[in-house]
Amino acid sequence: MTASPAWAVVPAAALVVVFAGAAAALDGVLDPAGRGRPMSGRLGRPLWETARLLRQRRRTTVAPDALLWRAGTAGPLVVALLMAVVVPVGGITVADPPVGLVWFNALDVALWLTVWAAGWGANSVYGLVSGYRFLSQALAYELPLMFALTAPAVAAGSLKIGQIVAAQDKTWFVVRMPAAFLVFLVAVAGFSLWGPLAYPAGRDLAGGVLAEPSGVDRLVLLAGRYALLTVGAGMSTALFLGGGAGPLLPGWLWSLLKTALVLAGLVAVRRAMPVLRADRVMRLAWLVVLPVTLLQLLVVSVLALGGS
Amino acid sequence: MQAVVNAGAMAALAVAAVALLYRLHRGTAVAADPLRAAPFLSGNLPQQHAMSRFHVRWYALTMLFLAFDVEMLFMYPWALVVPQVGVKAVVEMFAFLGVLMAGVVYAWREGALRWS
Amino acid sequence: MVLTQLLGRWAARRPHVLAVAAPGATAVRLAVEVEMARIGAVAATAPSDADVLLAVGSPGDELRDAIDLVWSQLPGPRVRADIDDPAEAGAVLRQVVRQLSDPQRAAEPDRRDEWAERAPDTHGEDMQMPGGLMMADRGPDRDALALDVLTVPLGPVLPDWPSGLVMDLQVQGDVVQQARSRILSAATPPRPFWDAAGPGASRRHAAAHLDSLQRLLAVAGWPGMAWRVRRLRDSTLTDTPGPVLRGHLAAIGRRLNRSPTLRWATDGLGVLTAETADRLQVSGPAARAALEGGDVTARWRRWLTETDALLAGEPAGPGPRGRSVPGRPASAGLLAAADELAIGLDLAAARLVMASLDPDPDQLAAAPEPAEARS
């Protein structure tokens, strides 16, 4: 994996934005409410929505915690872009530090603060309750996510994303650790407030953390959600799907194709089931998912012993 | 070192992109200043500030989470040395995790995993 | 300026509409929902999300005040309209969207600071009460802790919520400590839309159950499935043949029954026992579900079963919500049950329970004294 000059952040960020926009377009296409309408109108949904929010006035509430609120709404987008730094595309990456995996993990924990702040800052009951909803949801997905991240690290003997990708030259890690792969995808939906894990942005509380922001504030928050889904899909490609490995096509194209496929799956799952409430899934998360992930890690560790 | 520089460059770019978007919005929005309005409360005026001492009913779980979270500090360095240290590393780590899981089972029996 | 015009055109491709229905306006609400789908409009979740505010039906004074307050919370560009006739829904919506993309109208340069006019009097105690609002008071909790209590009304303006219903809640954290529901009146006493009698009654009652089901699914956070049920509801009110409708219903029922995640959301929640149903004079599907477990799951299953029977030609019962007696409509018992069952639940669960009982605001607003038989 080659390190890149600092200007590489510009194409990397652009790539995230393009994929996030494509995910939003796909969501528009899959929306049953659009069935029977012209495809151009459905594909263009991110354009219509962006235009709408750029035109819409911003709002402030009575005695908000303005700093926390604005930092919270912009936070997910910033976090997603910072995550993208360590996500490789083929053999290229913006940075491949020896602790790349820990960087990703640390940033996903930073979302605890930003989403909570986005809910709390507006001094609105629905937002406040939803900020805490995110924390309770995070308590359910975060530990399985951490152990799911550890599994590829143990198998590769490294926290460097480049080496984790390189260690999959024979078999992709998804073969050895399917449970970790699945847990990782669920956690990506969790920190992106997406689909069944959109509990903190619930329609039952007028959109939850989205109840108060309008205009550009809402735009950056919604864009952050899609950007998080995108880098999550990109990271899953690197950690479990062999990164840029594949026949005929160049590595960067394989990376992008796999990322697009995972991203499409994540977008599609939104229509498949209702929202999971944190209090209902907590026992499942701690008594089934967590032990299964640990068991997965044990299997991976024993295999790593045999492989040395 | 290049990694730190690049991460810093991305941070700067992200903040700049958000700032630029906000600047653009000032030009495209129907009014540049934010509207001051009461927080949405289903069509009612709020009687108090929403910011309050929130009853976090899953507080027992946060303790449990913290135990595992501290354990993660050991997990990352451990991941790098599994093949070198060998069986001992795996046995020790999973004995530790087993103790923590016993804590989870105890907390479950005590009802910490359900709160409504 | 070219950019502004382009943004205006693009924005109007997908207007977000907050439609607030008054009790008794069910027929208009259904027409508005159909027309919104036709022009590609989205149902907004909150005023921050809305471009258009629609007052549907003829709201009474209190509901009119709530709509005015929500109007002041729309950030703009914003357009407001009243619709009181199902036949005019399409025309009004199209006109409203045209106004939305008109740059002259959008700017509102003379818009006042409406909060300053509405803020409660501060009595010069700005230090304690920033913004003129009180801090939350404390009250005892079920764990014998003294905790902050917030007054949180749900309704009348809330997505997928019965028209004109207000549920006044006292919450600690997000747990309901006290609940009391009331219905805001309509300007003219409504005729309940779903309680049809005569030849078309079966169809009407089947559509009533489907309307309840789509609301429950929307509250449960399954908008795609809610949309399917809404489409089926609308076809049920046309002359689509019964077997076709039953085919669609069976497909939906299979999806719902096979969804473990829906079961996680509704199993064991809001159990209405047969005794409580009896005491509150609940009849209809909710009372029959009380004999089958009485939880939210039992109630939505009951809707599926009874809808299918009605579509198969079974004669209609006294009404989709059960038997009404003069002065006490069937929905009064459902509303009382929702208040009782909400205690100790969090807001999400309380909303699911309300949606699973789904009192009909048309009935409540039509009755002279809806809350009379309670306490």
User: Among partner residues B35, B44, B116, which is closest to C346 by beta-carbon distance?
Assistant: B116
Q: Which residues of B touch A102 (CB under 8 A)?
A: 76
pLDDT at C86: 92
Answer yes or no: is pLDDT of A214 > 60. Answer: yes
Nearest residue to A156 (alpha-carbon basis) of A142, A144, A143, A170: A170
Element (DSSP H or E) covering residue C210: helix C201-219
Assigned domain for B39 exists: no
Identity of the amino acid at A102: V
Closest chain C residue to B41 measured between Cα atoms? C153
* Lateral strand order in the sheet of C16-21: C42-43, C16-21, C52-56, C79-83
Dihedral sign (CA A141, A143, A149, A155)? negative
Q: Which residues of B touch C344 (CB under 8 A)?
A: 116
Q: Which residues of A touch B3 (CB under 8 A)?
A: 3, 95-97
User: Which of the residues C4, C14, C51, C256 would you substitute to probe the A interface, choosing the one with the greatest number of A C-beta atoms within 10 Å?
Assistant: C14
Using the 3D structure, point to which of C107, C130, C156 is the last residue of a domain.
C107
Assigned domain for B14 exists: yes
Assigned domain for B87 exists: yes
| Confidence label for C374 from pLDDT (cuts 50, 70 and 90) | very low
| Confidence label for A225 from pLDDT (cuts 50, 70 and 90) | very high
pLDDT at C173: 84
C141/B53 CB distance under 8 A: no
| Total structural domains within chain A | 1
CATH code (residue C248): 1.10.645.10
CA-to-CA distance for A16 and A81, rounded, in angstroms? Answer: 7
Determine the average pLDDT of the residues in C177-198. Answer: 87
C265/A32 CB distance under 8 A: no
C150/B41 CB distance under 8 A: no
Give one DSSP letter per residue of A126-193, joined into a string. HHHHHHHHHHHHHHHHHHHHHHHHHHHHHHHT-S-HHHHHHTTSSS-HHHH-HHHHHHHHHHHHHHTT
User: Which of the residues B70, B72, B97 would you substitute to probe the A interface, choosing the one with the greatest number of A C-beta atoms within 10 Å?
Assistant: B72
CA-to-CA distance for B57 and C89, rounded, in angstroms? Answer: 46
**Residue A300 contacts B where some CB pair is shorter than 8 Å:** no
| Confidence label for C145 from pLDDT (cuts 50, 70 and 90) | low
CA-to-CA distance for C331 and C284, rounded, in angstroms? Answer: 10
CATH code (residue C101): 3.40.50.12280
Element (DSSP H or E) covering residue C232: helix C223-236
Answer yes or no: is pLDDT of C324 > 90. Answer: no
pLDDT at A34: 78
Interface of chain B toward chain C, CB-CB under 8 angstroms: 28, 30-31, 35-38, 40-50, 52-57, 116
3-state SS class at C53: strand
Closest chain A residue to B29 measured between Cα atoms? A55
Question: CA of A271 to nearest chain C CA: how many angstroms apart?
Answer: 6
Using the 3D structure, point to which of C73, C107, C141 is the last residue of a domain.
C107
Q: Which residues of A touch C127 (CB under 8 A)?
A: none
H-helix segments, chain A: 9-30, 39-43, 45-55, 66-84, 100-120, 125-156, 161-166, 173-176, 178-191, 215-240, 251-269, 278-284, 290-307
Parent domain of C58? 2-107
Dihedral sign (CA A14, A20, A26, A32)? negative
Answer yes or no: is pLDDT of C110 > 90. Answer: no
H-helix segments, B1-116: 2-28, 59-85, 87-109
A81/B13 CB distance under 8 A: yes
Give one DSSP letter per residue of C267-332, joined into a string. TT-S---HHHHHHTT--SHHHHHHTTT-SHHHHHHHHHHHHHHHHTTPPP-S-TT---BTTB-HHH
Q: Which residues of B touch A128 (CB under 8 A)?
A: 50-52, 54
User: Would you say C171 and A132 are in contact if contact means Cβ atoms under 8 Å apart?
Assistant: no
CA-to-CA distance for A82 and A38, rounded, in angstroms? Answer: 37
**Residue B47 contacts A where some CB pair is shorter than 8 Å:** no
C49/A207 CB distance under 8 A: yes
Chain B, chain C: beta-carbon pairs less than 8 Å apart: 104
Q: Find the Cα–Cα–Cα–Cα dihedral C18, C21, C22, C28, rounded to 10°.
A: 140
| Burial environment of residue C141 by CB neighbours within 10 A (0 to 12, 13 to 18, 19 or more) | middle
**Residue A33 contacts C where some CB pair is shorter than 8 Å:** yes
Encode pLDDT of A67-107 as tens digits.
999 999 999 999 999 999 999 998 889 889 999 999 999 99
Token couple for A7? 């200007």
Distances A300 to A183, B96, C49, C76, C98 between C-alpha atoms, Å: 15, 17, 47, 55, 61
- 10-residue mean pLDDT series, chain B (116 residues): 88 95 92 89 86 81 88 89 88 92 90 75
CA-to-CA distance for C154 and C168, rounded, in angstroms? Answer: 6
Range from B56-70, C139-153, C336-350 that averages highest in pLDDT: C336-350
Closest chain B residue to C106 measured between Cα atoms? B30
Q: Enumerate the β-bridge partners of residue A2.
A: A92
| Total structural domains within chain C | 2
Q: Are residues B28 and B73 in the same domain?
A: no
pLDDT at C370: 43
Task: Decide if the complex's ipTM is over 0.90.
Answer: yes
Distances A107 to A197, B62, B115 between C-alpha atoms, Å: 19, 19, 29
C134/B47 CB distance under 8 A: yes
CA-to-CA distance for A240 and A180, rounded, in angstroms? Answer: 9
Q: Which residues of C touch A125 (CB under 8 A)?
A: 150, 152
CA-to-CA distance for A195 and C299, rounded, in angstroms? Answer: 25
Closest chain B residue to A149 measured between Cα atoms? B76
Encode pLDDT of C206-263 as tens digits.
999 999 999 999 999 999 999 999 999 999 999 889 899 999 999 999 999 999 999 9
Q: Which residues contact A168 (CB under 8 A, 6 or more apart)?
A: A156, A242, A243, A245
pLDDT at C197: 80
pLDDT at C373: 43
Q: Which residues of B touch C151 (CB under 8 A)?
A: 47-48
3-state SS class at C81: strand
pLDDT at A278: 86
Residue A83: how many CB atoms within 10 A of its CB? Answer: 27
Q: Please report how the helices B87-109 and A290-307 are oriented relative to each other, as an axis angle in degrees rounded to 10.
A: 170
User: Among partner residues A97, A215, A283, which is closest to B25 by beta-carbon distance?
Assistant: A215
User: Which of the residues A286, A288, A293, A297 would you substitute to probe the B interface, choosing the one with the greatest number of B C-beta atoms within 10 Å?
Assistant: A286
CA-to-CA distance for B44 and A84, rounded, in angstroms? Answer: 42
User: Which of the residues A37, A40, A52 would you substitute to probe the C interface, choosing the one with the greatest number of C C-beta atoms within 10 Å?
Assistant: A52
**Residue B102 contacts A where some CB pair is shorter than 8 Å:** no
CA-to-CA distance for A183 and A181, rounded, in angstroms? Answer: 6
**Residue B114 contacts A where some CB pair is shorter than 8 Å:** yes
Encode pLDDT of C268-303 as tens digits.
999 999 999 999 999 889 999 999 999 999 999 999
3-state SS class at A264: helix
User: Would you say B50 and A127 are in contact if contact means Cβ atoms under 8 Å apart?
Assistant: yes
Element (DSSP H or E) covering residue C170: strand C165-172
B49/C134 CB distance under 8 A: yes
Residue C322: how many CB atoms within 10 A of its CB? Answer: 21
Determine the average pLDDT of the residues in A222-246. Answer: 94
Parent domain of A54? 6-307
**Residue B88 contacts A where some CB pair is shorter than 8 Å:** no
CA-to-CA distance for C317 and C201, rounded, in angstroms? Answer: 9
Token couple for B37? 């309005």
B29/A101 CB distance under 8 A: no
CA-to-CA distance for C285 and B53, rounded, in angstroms? Answer: 40
> Within 13 Å of residue B47, how many CA atoms lie on the same side as its CB?
10
| Total structural domains within chain B | 2
Parent domain of B101? 57-116
Average model confidence (pLDDT) for chain C?
A: 87
Q: Which residues of B touch A55 (CB under 8 A)?
A: 28-30
Nearest residue to C221 (alpha-carbon basis) of A275, A134, A190: A275
Encode pLDDT of C276-285 as tens digits.
999 999 988 9
Question: CA of C315 to nearest chain B CA: how many angstroms apart?
Answer: 39
Q: Which residues of A touch C133 (CB under 8 A)?
A: 62-63
Using the 3D structure, point to which of C74, C107, C140 is the last residue of a domain.
C107
The values of phi and psi at residue C240, to 5°, are -60, 135
Assigned domain for A1 exists: no
Answer yes or no: is pLDDT of C123 > 70. Answer: no
Residue A285: how many CB atoms within 10 A of its CB? Answer: 24
Nearest residue to C18 (alpha-carbon basis) of C114, C151, C161: C161
C265/A48 CB distance under 8 A: no
Closest chain C residue to B45 measured between Cα atoms? C69
Assigned domain for A135 exists: yes
B10/A12 CB distance under 8 A: yes
**Residue A201 contacts C where some CB pair is shorter than 8 Å:** no
CA-to-CA distance for C116 and B58, rounded, in angstroms? Answer: 38
Q: What is the largest CA-CA distance in chain B?
A: 66
User: Would you say C211 and C235 are in contact if contact means Cβ atoms under 8 Å apart?
Assistant: no
Question: Residue C40 region, left (φ>0) first, then alpha (ψ -120 to 50), else beta?
Answer: left
Element (DSSP H or E) covering residue C37: helix C26-39
What does the DSSP 8-state code read for residue C46? S
Determine the average pLDDT of the residues in A135-153. Answer: 94
Q: Are strands C42-43 and C52-56 parallel, antiparallel or unpaired?
A: unpaired
Determine the average pLDDT of the residues in A249-263. Answer: 93
User: Which of the residues B42, B49, B116 would you substitute to probe the C interface, choosing the one with the greatest number of C C-beta atoms within 10 Å?
Assistant: B42
